[in-house]
């Protein structure tokens, strides 16, 4: 494998693989050739080339047309997009101090470059001319949608503002880009810096042997052989909170977990949050909106903050009531253990696990042998085959960015290559927490020929040990199904324009394909097809499946309340019309008191490590998971009305949702699939929150 030297960037590409033509299998990035020092010069050169392309479009003497302006804009900047995509993906999945520094240096350049496009008066004149005269141009539906997205992007980025406001907008955008990066880096640094080191074996009482073994291997990896190390990675901290009998140590690791970004040191995020929230508000108001939430939601299914709050309020009351009942049950067990209340957050998972075992005779450790990573992966492949006829084939001759990453060809039911899929499963210091899907190349069509997408799933699952393969909790298995739903959205996309393809949809619609996949993870019929014991190959017994079903709504008060609390917190930061002038800790506390959050539960993400909204793309959008939850539970009812593998329903979901990207209105796309608007009832029933009226 090599990188060709001849390319439109000229001789600069001779020594920089990012600027060269990628002579690689499937056109994937040449990860094995890329070095940190290649990124900045490549990005700066790609910006220069894109500037030249934009200047040519804006200076054209031809009357503005869809082809010479909108299509030209769509096709410009491909080199920059290609390089910056690789850089951003690796800065999340395989970062280091050098990459983080480059990100801080390049973010202002990228921001300035984008502003130079959207605040270009001559360019906007051409875009607006086409927008104003589109009826006479008789555009195809997808062309009209692309025009709409381009025109709105200019308007929403300040194209129509006077010069002084444009200048202020530029400064705000630059500050936001840098602070947002800093926020995420701080969370990662605090996550990586903490270790709970255990010397006394008695402090491990209650923990399953697999968790103890993993902790011993973590200790060995950190030069502490003979001891046990627990970290703030979810695969380590959550089992400790769930099983460790030592309440003092549960409290210690919990305090470290919940105080990430809030320790008064160089990684403290409190000031960053105030700056981000206030700058976003100011930007929105410069653009003519009441708040950042109003600005964001205009382009979402929810449309307004009022509609978001209305949905949250509708679910909050029954969820909080259920959580209070769960809290009372925990308190009884604590009192039996001679522990006086109140219930603390570091007690909840521990006693919930005991109640689960007592009430349903269901021990999560009893389930894990049936959810080996390979079995779950094969189960997902099977579901995709039964629904859509997809086939998956692992390939070995593809460059990868880490030895743990695997690559897979994805073929359609007619054996045509749909795309390439990377999968990266295990935590490491250079990888941010959580799970996500991303792409290295999005699907598009050029002259009628489909460009196959390159999609990636990145997770932080339980690692294999010397004695066991990677055995997932059922929650991790559901996460795998979830991210694969996003991957299908990218892989099955079948549109003309990259800007409209795959997951390029509103955030409160993008979670529909991911969340509906979780329903197959837990369906009894599907469980019997994929949940197999990693040693014996035995299928998950009916008795265990029945226990899982009986416990289906167990602890859903807690799960729903901690999620909704985070969604409220996000909205409270971003629906403001006045700047925040206080420390974010009391701000968060007041927000939680306002909704009546009980002290035994904290928001799923506290402010100082809330990456989704302060370092990701979910500001004023974390509610999306529950909004899409209404969609996905209602959509799965369409399958259950026939069968979970009904081909006609699957074909309709593929044609109306998965293939269409953002080529239509999400509301209309959903109605085309379901034949009606979604009902909230299936969601409430699934979470055990529905009461017959």
Collapsing DSSP to helix, strand or coil, 408 comes out as strand
Q: Is there a contact between 387 and 645 (Cβ–Cβ < 8 Å)?
A: yes
CA distance readout (Å), 42 to 56, 107, 201, 306, 429? 21, 14, 52, 44, 26
Place of tokens 């603390």: 344
HEC profile of 329-396: HHHHHHHHCCCCCCCCHHHHHHHHHHHHHHHHCCCHHHHHHHEEHHHHHHHHHHHHHHHHCCEEEEEC
**Cα-atom radius of gyration of the chain, to the nearest Å?**
25
Query: Crossing angle of helices 141-156/121-132, nearest 10°?
Result: 140
Alpha helices in 263-304 (DSSP H): 270-286, 292-297
Q: Report the greatest alpha carbon distance in the chain.
A: 83
Q: Give dist(CA 322, CA 318) in Å, integer.
A: 6
Q: What's the angle, vertex CA 566, arms to CA 565 and CA 572, rounded to 5?
A: 90
- CB atoms closer than 10 angstroms to residue 122: 12
| 567: its two tokens | 């969604």
Q: Is 483 a catalytic residue?
A: yes
Q: Give dist(CA 164, CA 160) in Å, integer.
A: 12
Collapsing DSSP to helix, strand or coil, 678 comes out as coil
| 670: its two tokens | 């959903």
Q: Give dist(CA 431, CA 90) in Å, integer.
A: 9
Edge to edge, the sheet with strand 436-441 lists 391-395, 406-411, 417-424, 454-458, 436-441
| Set 483, 511, 518, 562: catalytic member | 483
Q: Is there a contact between 162 and 287 (Cβ–Cβ < 8 Å)?
A: no
Run of H or E including 39: helix 36-58
Q: Is there a contact between 212 and 204 (Cβ–Cβ < 8 Å)?
A: yes
CA distance readout (Å), 406 to 203, 393, 447, 455? 37, 11, 32, 12
Q: Which residues does the annotation mark as catalytic?
A: 483
């Amino acid at each position: 494998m090599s990188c060709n030297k001849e390319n439109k960037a000229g001789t600069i590409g001779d020594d920089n693989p990012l600027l060269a033509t990628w002579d690689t299998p499937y056109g994937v990035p040449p990860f094995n050739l890329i070095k940190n020092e290649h990124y900045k010069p490549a990005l700066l050169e790609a910006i220069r080339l894109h500037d030249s392309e934009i200047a040519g479009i804006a200076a054209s003497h031809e009357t503005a047309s869809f082809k010479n302006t909108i299509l030209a804009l769509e096709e410009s900047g491909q080199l920059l997009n290609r390089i910056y995509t690789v850089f951003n993906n690796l800065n999340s999945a395989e970062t280091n101090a050098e990459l983080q520094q480059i990100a801080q240096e390049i973010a202002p350049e990228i921001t300035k470059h984008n502003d130079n496009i959207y605040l270009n008066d001559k360019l906007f004149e051409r875009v607006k001319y086409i927008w104003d005269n589109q009826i006479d141009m008789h555009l195809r539906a997808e062309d009209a949608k692309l025009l709409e997205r381009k025109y709105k992007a200019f308007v929403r980025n300040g194209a129509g503002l006077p010069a002084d406001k444009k200048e202020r907008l530029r400064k705000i955008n630059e500050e936001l880009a840098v602070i947002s990066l800093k926020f995420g880096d701080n969370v990662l640094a605090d996550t990586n810096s903490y270790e709970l080191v255990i010397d006394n074996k008695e402090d491990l009482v209650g923990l399953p042997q697999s968790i103890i073994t993993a902790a011993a291997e973590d200790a060995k990896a950190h030069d502490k052989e003979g001891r046990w190390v627990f970290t703030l990675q979810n695969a380590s901290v959550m089992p400790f909170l769930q099983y460790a009998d030592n309440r003092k140590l549960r409290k210690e690791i919990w305090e470290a977990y919940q105080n990430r970004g809030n320790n008064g040191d160089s990684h403290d995020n409190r000031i960053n949050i105030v700056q981000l929230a206030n700058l976003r508000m100011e930007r929105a108001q410069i653009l003519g909106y009441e708040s950042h939430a109003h600005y964001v939601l205009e382009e979402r299914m929810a449309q307004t903050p009022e509609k978001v709050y209305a949905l949250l309020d509708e679910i909050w009351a029954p969820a909080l009531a259920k959580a209070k009942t769960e809290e009372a049950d925990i308190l009884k067990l604590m009192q039996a253990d001679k522990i006086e209340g109140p219930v603390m957050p570091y007690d909840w998972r521990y006693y919930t696990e005991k109640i689960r075992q007592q009430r349903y005779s269901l021990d999560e450790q009893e389930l894990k042998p049936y959810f080996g990573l390979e079995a779950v992966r094969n189960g997902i492949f099977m579901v995709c085959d039964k629904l859509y006829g997809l086939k998956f084939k692992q390939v070995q001759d593809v460059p990868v960015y880490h030895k743990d990453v695997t690559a897979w060809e994805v073929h359609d039911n007619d054996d045509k290559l749909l795309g390439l899929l990377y999968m990266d499963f295990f935590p490491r210091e250079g990888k941010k927490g959580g799970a996500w899907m991303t792409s290295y190349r999005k699907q598009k069509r050029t002259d009628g020929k489909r460009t196959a997408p390159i999609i990636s799933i990145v997770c932080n699952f339980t690692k294999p040990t010397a004695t066991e393969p990677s055995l997932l909790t059922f929650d991790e298995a559901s996460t795998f199904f979830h991210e694969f739903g996003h991957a299908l959205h990218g892989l099955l996309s079948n549109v003309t324009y990259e800007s409209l393809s795959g997951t390029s949809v509103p955030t409160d619609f993008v979670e529909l394909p991911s969340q509906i996949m979780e329903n197959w993870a837990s369906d009894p019929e599907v469980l019997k097809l994929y949940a197999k014991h990693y040693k014996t190959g035995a299928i998950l017994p009916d008795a265990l499946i029945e226990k899982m079903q009986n416990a289906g709504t167990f602890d859903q008060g807690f799960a729903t309340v901690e999620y909704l609390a985070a969604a409220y917190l996000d909205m409270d930061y971003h629906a403001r019309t006045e700047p925040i002038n206080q420390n974010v800790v009391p701000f968060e506390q007041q927000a939680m008191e306002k909704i009546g959050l009980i002290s035994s539960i904290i928001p799923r993400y506290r402010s100082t490590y809330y990456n989704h909204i302060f370092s990701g793309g979910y500001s004023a959008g974390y509610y999306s998971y529950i909004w899409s939850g209404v969609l996905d539970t209602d959509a799965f009812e369409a399958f259950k009305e026939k069968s979970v593998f009904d081909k006609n329903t699957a074909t309709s979901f593929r044609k109306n949702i998965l293939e269409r990207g953002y080529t239509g209105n999400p509301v209309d796309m959903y109605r085309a699939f379901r034949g009606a608007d979604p009902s909230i009832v299936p969601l409430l029933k699934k979470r055990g929150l529905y009461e017959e009226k």
